[in-house]
Amino acid sequence: MSSGADQQPAGEGSSLGDAASHFTTEAGGTPAGVGRYVSVDAVTPVEFLPGLGFRPVLGQKAMTNFVTFEPGATAPRHVHEEEQIVIVLEGEFVFDLDGDVRTMRKGDVAVVPSWVPHGAWTTDTRCVEVDVFSPPRSSLLQLAEAQAAESAANAEAAEAEDSAAEEA
């Protein structure tokens, strides 16, 4: 591994880190769980409010929530303990970040610290965005855990089906 002294200054063509330390293969601890793949399209959306679909995916210490805003949908102004990063994937919506109101489009990101008031709405367009929560958003945990258990059960059933087909 290289030391900080080997690093180039920030600028075009340089980085603040080095590939060897970023992509290390030396485990500094025990894996926290088994990795898994999730098809977001296979996660059944839950509508807490009309036109506002949530599809949470739970990790060990973080959560992503794939959110669909249909035209005219509103996520009312609210606060929560969890830090949130909002990433617009397609379409647009209006986002209110503690009174700073902006139209967000594909590629735009908002960072919402704990307890900062925020809300969002669409006018005549649809918007798909991802919310990243750390720690996982408590109000979505039960839903995400149930969906993860269902996904694991489906994977086990598919594996058993594959084994049975191979034996036949």
Residue 28 placed within a domain: no
Residue 4 placed within a domain: no
Residue 143 placed within a domain: yes
Residue 34 placed within a domain: no
Residue with the bigger pLDDT between 142 and 83: it is 83
The Cβ of residue 27 has, within 10 Å, a number of other Cβ atoms equal to 7
The CATH number given to whatever domain includes residue 71 is: 2.60.120.10
Instruction: Give the burial class of 5: count Cβ atoms within 10 A of its Cβ; 0-12 exposed, 13-18 middle, 19 or more buried.
Output: exposed
At residue 113 the predicted structure's pLDDT band, cuts being 50, 70 and 90, is very high
At residue 24 the predicted structure's pLDDT band, cuts being 50, 70 and 90, is confident
| Nearest C-alpha neighbor of 116 from the set 97, 103, 137, 143 | 97
Taking the whole predicted model, whether its pTM rises above 0.85 is answered as: no
At residue 92 the predicted structure's pLDDT band, cuts being 50, 70 and 90, is very high
Residue 163 placed within a domain: yes
| Number of structural domains found in the chain | 1
pLDDT mean over 136-147: 81
Residue 61 placed within a domain: yes
Q: How big is the chain, counted in residues? A: 168
| Nearest C-alpha neighbor of 120 from the set 163, 88, 82 | 88
Residue 17 placed within a domain: no
pLDDT mean over 36-47: 90
Q: What is the CA radius of gyration of the chain?
A: 20
Amino acid at 27: A
Q: Write down the mean pLDDT value for the chain.
A: 86
Structural domain boundaries, residue 67? 46-167
Residue 74 placed within a domain: yes
